[in-house]
Amino acid sequence: MSEEIKLMQNRKVWDLVEPKSNMKVLGCRWVYNIKHDEKNNVEKYKSRLVAQGFKQRPGVDFTDVFAPLVNFDIIKFLFVLLVCILGWNHAQIDVKGAYLYGNLDIPIYMQQPEGFAVKGCEHYVCSLHKSIYGLHQSGIQWNIEFNEILFGLGFHQNELCNGLYTKSNCILLVYVDDIVVFSKSQSDLENSILNIKIKLEITELGPFNYLLGVNFERIGDSVYLHQNTNINKLKTGFKNLPRRRIALPLKVGCILPDRIKENEIIETELMRQIPYKALI
């Protein structure tokens, strides 16, 4: 939690002001999470301060909320095309505290975080300057700030595909704070990452192999998409549950009588005449 507060202080997320009677002051709370890598190893224990954005008033405390993201099908397609077929280099980076880069254009006030109220100013409230997590507009404000940074580095946004940016022999795919970088040469790849690193605090994750719960494993000229990490995470979560035998309604290997089979055929034909699936 101290690390999160220090990050917010460095980003100048808020100033303390005296509360006024006409102020709408949001609450906040700490949210905890354990981050894992692609092999399901514990990467770090994370604390995040989240504003109670559900108390915001539409049209007063926020307006636009849509933040474009790259389609996951585009990620899969470009990985196969650029990496497996064309042999491009690739890497993945993560922006630390991405939302805290976004600038707020509407006054938002929030209570001081629990356990970190400034001594002598406990009754003061936070006047937010940055788009803290939990606010409705945080996603789009981060996207606006990130676009300005990329445009300044010479990247162009694809008009037909959200979250896709290009620059000569380099392609970026952006999903919130996860960025996948493809480049024809290793030097261009490293230079692109270095230029972003000058503007943003990032973590370099190495070659791209895990995103949104999906593992990207390249073997030869083929790519295998699987969810071993998520499956192992589920196994870890359920391994301590009590094990017990469950009796099935029918014995294993039980053969149904012909009459039941005939009824199933009739019911199947009947259901074909009632296209519930097509309607849905």
CA–CA gap between residue 1 and residue 16 (Å, rounded): 19
pLDDT tens-digit readout, 61-114: 999 999 999 999 999 899 888 988 888 999 999 999 999 999 999 999 999 998
Specify the range with the lowest mean pLDDT, choosing from 182-191, 242-251, 252-261, 267-276.
267-276
- The pLDDT of residue 274 is 60
| pTM of the shown model | 0.77
Average pLDDT of the chain to the nearest whole number? 86
pLDDT in tens, 85-97: 888 999 999 999 9
d(CA 112, CA 127): 10
pLDDT digits (tens, 9 = 90+) for 7-30: 889 889 999 999 998 899 999 999
Mean pLDDT of 145-149: 95
Segments making up each domain of the chain, as ranges: 1-225
- pLDDT of 222 reads 80
Higher pLDDT, 84 or 43: 84
Residue 279: is its pLDDT beyond 50? no
Q: What percent of the chain has pLDDT over 90?
A: 50
Which of 62-66, 115-119, 265-269 tops mean pLDDT? 62-66
| Contacts of 86 by beta carbon, 8 Å cutoff, 6+ apart | 184
